[in-house]
């Protein structure tokens, strides 16, 4: 079935998560005709801790606060549930916990306020060039056409590889998340990171209003993550039953090198572009950043002010990739020798402030990497 009545849009955005929503907001605010296609009906929980630097607010002309449920002021670190380190976050680098479904909804609503069309329940199964346009087909046969395409359908996206953009081979973190009702022993405004229980990774607990997002992520291992073993120990420590909550397993694409993120009239953003931080799994900020950047470069391209979208790939390399190249090196050393990493990295008096500065975007991994890696390698020997 073909929806012949549908006009040729300026831009089709596949996926209305953080990255697609951010792109749609700015493109529609710049008066482009945008159609946002989303598979989900918005009723299911999204596996995401929701931790995000408040600094991302600067990228949006409307308040993101309706999605914010907690402002984190204190972070507790532990090694195998012991050896605690407490970090009070500086007031100038606040860290938000957002309810993820609400954030995505807020972005999509804002885009529709500017005239974008938001269609849910659309499972995109085909993407192809049709003359000078892009044609997208859904599982149920509906079709859409546009001059440009933004690929924002997350870690499972097949399109970058099929279209020859982004990394040829992808690297994944294995993750499990649990959303729990009640806060257990976690205080309002405090987040928890546990190293030691998770091989080549860490576990986290982020507070929501009346709930907690607990997650486990393993970053460089090839072995299957035994998240149940981790949660059996971690959940009672957080004041919950060891089998509490429903578990969602996800493979999360992580940053694995500088890549071309554009083609002719097409850009890839967010997890689909493998932007997620390979050390701390921070994926929301790069998703929002890439969505905003995509809109800037695509808007100029649509107006004929530039003939290529190369500037988008360059901007993401400069704003995000350069830091991730160092983040990846830190992850490779830290997660191979996590005990040393905890003692020499996390337990250093300056570490919590550095982590807060990294997560807020005030600092990049490049600013600290050489010292950190040298320290870890020297102590290991």
Round to whole Å and give the CA distance between 34 and 13: 7
Query: Is residue 107 a contact partner of residue 18, using CB atoms and an 8 Å limit?
Result: yes
Closer to ligand FAD by CB, 160 or 376: give it. Answer: 160
Look at residues 207, 199, 200, 196 and name the one whose alpha carbon lies nearest to residue 238: 207
Report, in Å, the least distance between residue 89 CB and ligand FAD: 15
Q: Give the pair of three-digit tokens for residue 262.
A: 């554009």
Query: Which secondary-structure segment (H or E) carries 254?
Result: strand 247-254
- Three-class DSSP category at 380: helix
Residue 49 lies near ligand FAD (rule: CB under 6 A): yes
Residue 123 in the binding site for ligand FAD (CB under 6 A): yes
Question: Which residues on neighbouring strands pair with residue 76, listed in sequence order?
Answer: 86, 192
Closest CA to 67 of 42, 44, 96, 99: 99
Which of these ranges, 270-278, 304-312, 333-341, 350-358, lies near ligand FAD under the rule CB under 6 A? 270-278
Smaller CB separation from ligand FAD, 52 or 368: 52
Q: Do 360 and 93 form a contact (C-beta atoms < 8 A)? A: yes
- Of 14 and 67, which CB lies nearer to ligand FAD in the complex structure? 14
Judged by CB under 6 A, which stretch of 41-49, 79-87, 311-319, 366-374 contacts ligand FAD? 41-49
Beta-sheet pairing, 82-88 with 8-14: unpaired
Smallest distance, ligand FAD to C-beta of residue 19, A: 4
From candidates 8, 39, 314, 340, binder to ligand FAD by CB under 6 A:
39
**Smallest separation (angstroms) from ligand FAD to the CB of 40:** 4
Query: CB under 6 A: which stretch of 267-275, 314-322, 324-332, 336-344 binds ligand FAD?
Result: 267-275
- Compare residues 28 and 177 and give the one whose CB is closer to ligand FAD: 177
Sequence-ordered list of residues with C-beta below 8 angstroms from that of 340, at least 6 positions apart, any chain: 376, 379, 380
Q: Which of 110, 194, 237, 282 binds ligand FAD (CB under 6 A)?
A: 282
Is residue 293 at the binding interface for ligand FAD, with CB under 6 A as the rule?
Answer: no
- Give the rounded distance of the alpha carbon of 123 from its chain centre: 21
Instruction: Name which of 43 and 371 has its Cβ closer to ligand FAD.
Output: 43
Q: Residue 48 interacts with ligand FAD (CB under 6 A)?
A: yes
When asked if residue 252 is in the footprint of ligand FAD (CB under 6 A), the reply is: yes
**How far, in Å, CA of 297 to CA of 59, rounded?**
15
What contacts 324, CB < 8 A, 6 or more positions away? 255, 275, 277, 278, 365
Residues contacting ligand FAD: total by CB under 6 A: 38
Among 12, 18, 72, 331, interactor with ligand FAD by CB under 6 A? 18
- Identify the DSSP state of 41: -
CB of residue 164 to ligand FAD, shortest distance in Å: 19
Q: Which helix (H) or strand (E) holds 66?
A: none
201: number of Cβ within 10 Å: 24
Q: Are strands 8-14 and 34-38 parallel, antiparallel or unpaired?
A: parallel
Q: Is 245 in the site for ligand FAD (CB under 6 A)?
A: no
Does 361 bind ligand FAD (CB under 6 A)? Our answer is: no
End-to-end CA, the chain:
65
How far apart are CB 98 and ligand FAD at their closest, in Å? 9
Phi, psi at residue 345, to the nearest 5°? Answer: -100, -65
CB of 105 to ligand FAD, least distance (A): 10
Q: How far is the CB of 380 from ligand FAD (least distance, A)?
A: 29
- Mark residues 171-210: x for contact with ligand FAD by CB under 6 A, - for none: ----x-x---------------------------------
- Token readout for 282 is 């921070």
If DSSP codes are grouped into helix, strand and coil, which group holds residue 168? coil
The region of 44-52, 80-88, 194-202, 294-302 touching ligand FAD under the rule CB under 6 A is 44-52
Chain contacts with ligand FAD (rule: CB under 6 A): 14-20, 37-40, 47-52, 122-124, 152-154, 175, 177, 215, 250, 252, 270-272, 276, 281-285, 287
């Amino acid at each position: 079935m073909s929806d012949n009545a549908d006009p040729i849009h300026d831009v089709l955005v596949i996926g209305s998560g953080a990255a697609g929503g951010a792109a749609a907001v700015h493109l529609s605010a710049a008066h482009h005709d945008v159609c946002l296609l989303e598979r989900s009906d918005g009723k299911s929980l999204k596996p995401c801790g929701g931790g995000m630097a408040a600094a991302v607010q600067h990228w949006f002309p409307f308040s993101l606060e309706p999605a914010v449920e907690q402002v984190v002021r204190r972070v507790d670190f532990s090694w195998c549930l012991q050896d605690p380190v407490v970090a009070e976050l500086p007031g100038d680098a606040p860290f938000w916990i957002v309810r993820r479904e609400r954030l995505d909804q807020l972005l999509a609503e804002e885009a529709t306020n500017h005239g974008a069309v938001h269609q849910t329940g659309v499972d995109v199964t085909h993407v192809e060039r049709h003359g000078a346009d892009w044609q997208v087909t859904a599982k149920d046969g509906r079709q859409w056409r546009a001059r440009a395409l933004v690929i924002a359908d997350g870690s499972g996206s097949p399109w970058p590889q099929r279209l020859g953009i982004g990394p040829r081979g992808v690297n994944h973190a294995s993750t499990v998340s649990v959303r729990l009702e009640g806060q257990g022993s976690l205080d309002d405004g405090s987040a928890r990171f546990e190293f030691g229980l998770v091989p080549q990774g860490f576990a986290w607990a982020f507070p929501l209003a009346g709930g907690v997002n607990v997650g486990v992520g393993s970053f460089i291992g090839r072995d299957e993550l035994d998240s149940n073993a981790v949660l059996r120990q971690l959940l009672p420590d957080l004041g919950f039953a060891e089998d509490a909550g429903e578990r969602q397993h996800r493979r999360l694409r992580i940053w694995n090198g500088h890549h071309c993120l554009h083609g002719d009239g097409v850009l890839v953003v967010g997890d689909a572009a493998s932007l997620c931080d390979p050390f701390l799994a921070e994926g929301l900020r790069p998703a929002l950043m890439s969505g905003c950047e995509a809109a800037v470069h695509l808007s100029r391209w649509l107006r004929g002010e530039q003939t290529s979208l190369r500037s988008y790939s360059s901007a993401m390399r400069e704003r995000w990739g350069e830091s991730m190249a160092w983040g990846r090196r830190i992850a490779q050393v830290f997660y191979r020798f996590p005990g040393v990493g905890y003692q020499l990295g996390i337990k250093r008096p300056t570490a919590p402030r550095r982590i807060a500065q990294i997560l807020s975007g005030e600092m990049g991994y490049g600013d600290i990497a050489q010292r950190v890696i040298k320290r870890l390698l020297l102590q290991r020997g």
